[in-house]
Amino acid sequence: MISVPAIRLHQFGVVLYQAILGARDVDRLVRFEVLSYEGGDAAHGARPGSGKRKGKAKPSRVNWELLEKRIAASAEAYQRPVIRKKISDLVEYYLQCSEIGNLPAIPGAVLLVADRRLEFTPTSSHRVLGVLEIPGEEGALRALDGQHRLLALHQMITAGQAEEVQVPAVVFDRLTPDQVVELFVTINAKHTKLNPSHLISLAGRRLYPDPELAASHDIIRALNEHGDSPLHGEIKIFGVGHGRVAQAPLAEELKGIFTALDALGGRQSDRFRDTAQRFFLNYFKQIARVFPRAWVGRKYSIKTGTALRAFLRVVPDVLNAIRRNGGDVLDAHAIGRVIAPWGELVGDSRFETESEWRQKQAGGTRGTVEMLARELRAALRG
C-alpha cells in the first residue's frame, strides 16, 4: 500500500479525495488505455504516432516506441486515442518549466479512478484531513482526465527529468462504470469538445441504455470494417481514421430509422433490428451497382455524409416498397429491383461535385439531404 496525504470531500452524496502523489507513484499506479475495438481499429487507439505526417519530421524529444508500450487499447475503455502533438507540446512545456523554474508544470489536478474502495484515515478533529491508502500494484488507478499530461510526465520520468515532481490528483473510488463514463463525457463534451463520434461509440454501451444508438453504431462498424462493404474504410470511427465521413450524423439517421420502425411495432420491426447489419450491407452494395460511375469516380460526391444520410433517410420507404412487391427485405435482388429506377431517374450525374451537386449544395446541408431524399423517394419502384 502507498500512503499519501489527502483531503476527503463530500459533494451531493459522492465521496472523493484530493491527494498529492509523487511522480514516480503516479507513473506506477496509473494505467493508460484508450477506447478501441478488436480488429481493424485497434491501432488507432494504441498508437499515438499513427497517421500520415507531412514534410520532414522534426526531431522529437519523446520516445514514442517506449510510450506506446504504456498505452493499451480496449473495448472497455472510454478515453480517446491519444494526440501525439499534444504530448509533444506538453513535454516541451515541462522542459521549459524545469529549465526556467518560474511556472508549475501541472498546477491543476488530474482525475483518477480506483477500481476498488480505498481506505482513508482521518488525522484531524474535523475528519477531513487524513491519509489515503492506495494499493501499490501497477495500474491500480485509471486516468479520467489528464491522460495526456501524465503520459508527457511519464516521458520526463523515463528521461530522469521529473524525479521530484508532485502531482495534485482527485481520486474517485466509489463510482460505478456508468458514472465514470458519464463524468468523462460531461468533462470533455463541455470543455474540450469531445468528438461527437466518440460519444456515439460510448452511448448505448455503458453511458446510458440506448439500444437504437447502440445498434446504429454496430451497423456503422460493419459497413466500415467488412471487407466486401462498399463503404469499407470510408467512415471515421471515434472521429479518427482515413475515412471521409463522420460517424455521428450517420448514427443519428440510423437511430431515426429504428425509432420509426419501433413506433409501428410488430414482428417485422423486431426481425429487421436483428438482421439490420445484413440489410445495410446489401443495401449499399445495390446502391453502388445503381450508380457505378459515381461510386468509384473521384469527381463525385456520392460517398459524402450528405449523400449517405439521404440514402439512409429513405430506408423506411425502401422497406415498404419491397414489402408491397412481396419481396424479402434481406434479399439483395429484392432491394436492387426496388431502387433500380434511381439509375435512370436520379443518375450518376446528380452526384458530380462540380455541377448539379454543387448548385444544390447552396441551399445548405440540411436542405440538401432532404432534397436528395425526396428525389430518391419519388423514384422508387413499388
For residue 43, give Cα distances in angstroms to 149, 179, 237.
Answer: 21, 27, 12
Classified as helix, coil or strand, 171 is strand
What single DSSP character describes residue 232? T
For residue 18, give Cα distances in angstroms to 108, 155, 187.
Answer: 11, 24, 18
Rounded Cα distance, 252 and 210, in Å: 12
Rounded Cα distance, 363 and 121, in Å: 65
**Residue 42: its pLDDT value, please?**
37
pTM to 2 decimal places: 0.54
Question: What does each of the 382 residues of the chain score in pLDDT, given as a tens digit?
Answer: 889 999 999 887 788 999 998 888 888 888 766 545 444 333 333 444 444 444 444 555 555 555 555 555 555 555 556 667 777 888 888 887 877 677 788 888 888 888 888 999 999 888 899 999 998 887 788 888 877 888 888 888 777 777 788 889 999 887 777 677 677 666 655 445 555 555 555 554 444 456 777 788 889 989 998 999 999 989 887 655 567 788 878 888 998 888 887 765 555 666 777 889 999 999 999 999 999 999 999 899 999 989 999 999 999 999 999 999 999 999 999 999 999 999 999 999 999 988 767 666 555 555 588 999 999 999 997 5
Burial class (CB within 10 angstroms; exposed 0-12, middle 13-18, buried 19+) of 332: middle
Helix axis angle, 211-225 to 276-290, nearest 10°: 50
Which pLDDT tens digit goes with each residue over 347-359? 999 999 887 676 6
Which pLDDT tens digit goes with each residue over 211-251? 777 788 889 989 998 999 999 989 887 655 567 788 878 88
**Residue 43: its pLDDT value, please?**
36
